[in-house]
Amino acid sequence: MKKRISYVCILTTALVFSLMEIVLKLASNQVTGLNGIQISFWRFVIAVACFLPFMMRQIKRQKISFTGKDWRNFILLGFVFVVCCMSMYQISCKLEPAAIAAIIFSCNPVFVLLFSKLILHKRLTGIEKGTLFFALIGMVLVVSPHELLSQLNNWQGILISISGSALFGLYTVLSKRYLNENPGANGFIISGMSFLCGLVELWIVIGLTHISVISNFFKAIPSLQMFSNVPMIRNLTPANIGVLLFIGIVITAVGYGCYFYAVENAGSFPASSSFFIKSILAPILATIILHEQMKLTVIIGIILVIIGLALPFVFKKKEA
């Protein structure tokens, strides 16, 4: 039963995450006037509020008490995901077309494989090596390096996108390790507690961006200007609060709740199949909604990424 629910969660995650770059790009442009880091802060405030009742019920039912080691894990996970990964992701959505940002982020299963080998000491199979090969070549074609050589801002955007994807892979593997070591915990607990700790850390970071030296430093770097004097309340209106609620409840709470249910019950790599589906849906939706155009090399790159991410599932099905 849990396996079947996991597959429903994977499909839900794929659909919700396919809208992520598009909604975040719309939310941070002139339509709402919101700062990207401000969006990240409020989306996690809303997500934590959604997770809290489920998390508290699970903690009470399992009679879980957190140790110092647990809190260190939550603080690390919060910093990796909320502060670093999502900040980089927000910047990449602003600097890059939504389709490109989506494809690069969808490559995070590649980093899940790499970090699984490094942290969980999982041995890579031949199929998983094939996944790495196709996905990495596809990523190179998607970012079109020959066109970026003379465009520093584009290079910054691509590097930030890849870094964000790698950090999400790291976050997934570290979360899976915590779930393995703590059978009483589940997706709501790991998501809720890491989001809560990350939210506090992001609040501290936002406070630091108002120090003149730090503010001026980020203001001088075009790709990182959203880290300068990050507002908390300014520009919030009834119109864009609706957008924030959608991002916080649907994209973040529902998306990551389903994702970590799948990680817990199906494993980190099967759960990451949601990004295989996302890599197909997101570019199509970006073309329809944002009217983005894709070059032939990008389309070929997307096809190679899809082939790479599909390999483990195709061959696993044949073996079964």
Residues 6+ apart with CB under 8 A from 184: 62, 64
Assign 320 a pLDDT band (cuts: 50, 70, 90).
very low
231-259: b (≥16 Cβ within 10 Å) or e: beeeebeeebeebbebbbbbbbbbbbbbb
What DSSP assignment string belongs to 95-113? Answer: HS-HHHHHHHHHTHHHHHH
* pLDDT at residue number 28: 62
Residues 6+ apart with CB under 8 A from 14: 273, 274, 275, 276, 277, 278, 281
* pLDDT at residue number 199: 95
How far is Cα 144 from Cα 134, in angstroms, rounded to an integer? 16
Query: Is the pLDDT confidence value at 253 over 70?
Result: yes
Mean pLDDT of 57-85: 90
How far is Cα 215 from Cα 37, in angstroms, rounded to an integer? 14
Mean pLDDT of 19-44: 77
Give the range among 103-112, 233-242, 272-281 with minimum mean pLDDT: 272-281
Cα–Cα distances in angstroms (integers) from residue 176 to residues 124, 267, 312, in the given order: 17, 8, 19
Residues 6+ apart with CB under 8 A from 203: 41
* pLDDT at residue number 82: 94
CA 134 to chain centre: 21
Q: What is the helix (H) or strand (E) element at residue 263, kind and residue range? A: helix 255-266
* pLDDT at residue number 301: 77
Helix 98-106 × helix 126-143 angle, to 10°: 160
| Among 312, 315, 300, CA closest to 137 | 300
Give the range among 12-26, 162-176, 256-270 with minimum mean pLDDT: 256-270
